[in-house]
Homo-oligomer: A and B are copies of this chain.
Amino acid sequence: MTWSNSRNKVLSERAQAVIPMGMYGHQSVMLLPDDYPQFFQRAEGAHLWDVDGNRYVDFMCGYGPNLFGYGNDVIDAAYSERMRAGDTMTGPGEAMVELAEAMVAQVSHADWAMFCKNGTDATTMAMMVARNHTGRKTIVLARGAYHGAAPWCTPLKKGVTPSDRANQIFYDYNDVESLEAAVRKAGDDLAAIFASPIKHDTFVDQESPTVEYARRARELCDERGALLIVDDVRAGFRLARDCSWSLVGVKPDLSSWGKAIANGHPISALLGADVCRMAAGTIYVTGSYWFSTAPMAASLATLKLIRETDYLERTQALGQRLRSGLDEVAGRHGFALRQTGPAEMPLIMVDDDPTLAKGYFWNQALIKRGVYFHPWHNMFICAAMTEGDIDFSLEAADDAFKLLKAAGPLEAPTKLAFMHQMLEA
């Protein structure tokens, strides 16, 4: 079938009339290459169909939630069964206790669990628990790290006041001296150090935490009686069957979770250690749908697959196949890729491409060949992908590099200038 986008255009125009800017948030295609579809019709396994019927191997996985494949039978059956029995009721169901038990059993640093809806809910609760526990205000965070989209943390400052960002000090990820300086600056007011499990910032090379950095963060918290928070919303259960910092042997006091924990059904979580159980139990946080049982049943089914399948080794092997295949394909056409981050959560950018012009061209060519890559955000491999999906994507990448070579010099994408303007405003 020939790629086309007429239905997407019609819908985008209708959207312009009733949704500000036609779309908002992380799934807006406003900053993506021109032909990225905004609206989708269907999803199954590792594939996505847009409203014009074009099929994609989807390397975004819903920006993280899709771990076991879209429409996973076992997980969705658990959701449906529980939905029929009673989902959003006047109180929680037995599944809430079972899920808290299952999460505490799965995540080695955790003694208790609280459930919520957004990743932002979980990071905000972590901040509140740390402040309640310590009676202090200052949080120390890595510059450029994403912890959600509430006024205290959203990447853009529009609609945000200076007070919303008070009591925050920044450090550079993996830079021990910079972390120590931030902690010194916090003085006797340090409530918590926030850390992403890996550096998965947009637009820049991804980095795994060094053992030195992670250990020092733990030590500094211990010395000061502050809490260590790992924000595992995006990477949780994608790098390990435990908190991602189990890979560097460091246990946080608090960790935030979301996305993959119910394979796309709406639930997030804050897990914590006994040290701050009382502080967690005395903040007032809640939401209309936080105690709904169907997403909890789906999360229990997801955790069972996490425990009992080789999904992790499988996504790692598929990611490696993609990584080495892409390097070979790129080299064949005289290009190089900057492939960073874990293979199962890769960021893939074209090397020697400061304006992203090559990357935008290459990604746009991939979209038209049925491969949904992202030019500046980390991607995700799901367990429903096959070697065939990877090989299909490598062939598309080969075609796309051919076109890129033929295209010659390219202009910088104007969309990104708009974004930089927004970030600076």
Contact = CB atoms under 8 A, between A and B. Distances in A.
Interface of A: 11, 14-15, 17-21, 23-27, 29, 37-44, 48-51, 58, 60-66, 70-71, 76, 79-80, 83-94, 96-97, 100-101, 104, 111-114, 117-121, 124, 127-132, 137, 149-152, 154-156, 158-161, 163-164, 166-167, 233, 258-259, 264-266, 268, 272, 277-292, 295, 372, 422
A86 B286 contact: no
B287 A25 contact: yes
Contacts of A50: 91
Given A233-B288, A284-B25, A288-B65, A41 B90 contact: no
Given A19-B97, A41-B94, A66-B88, 17 more contacts: A18-B112, A20-B278, A44-B86, A48-B86, A65-B289, A71-B83, A76-B84, A88-B266, A117-B118, A118-B290, A127-B159, A129-B159, A150-B150, A156-B282, A156-B283, A163-B163, A163-B166
A291 B25 contact: yes
A101 to B, nearest CB: 5
Contacts of A76: 83-84
Question: In this complex, which of A76, A79, A111, A266 has the most chain B Cβ atoms within 10 angstroms of its Cβ?
Answer: A266
15 contacts: A25-B290, A37-B91, A40-B90, A40-B92, A41-B93, A42-B86, A51-B93, A58-B90, A70-B89, A118-B290, A149-B284, A150-B150, A154-B285, A264-B292, A266-B289
B118 A39 contact: no
Nearest to A115: B19
Contacts of A29: 91
A19 B63 contact: no
Contacts of A91: 27, 29, 37-40, 50
A163 B94 CA distance: 38
A164 B124 CA distance: 12
B40 A62 contact: no
A352 to B, nearest CB: 28
Question: In this complex, which of A137, A167, A284 has the most chain B Cβ atoms within 10 angstroms of its Cβ?
Answer: A284
Given A43-B89, A129-B159, A100 B282 contact: no
Question: In this complex, which of A29, A87, A258 has the most chain B Cβ atoms within 10 angstroms of its Cβ?
Answer: A87
Copies in the complex: 2
Contact of A159 (B20, B87, B96, B279): B279
A20 B112 contact: yes
B86 A43 contact: yes
A19 B100 contact: yes
A86 B288 contact: no
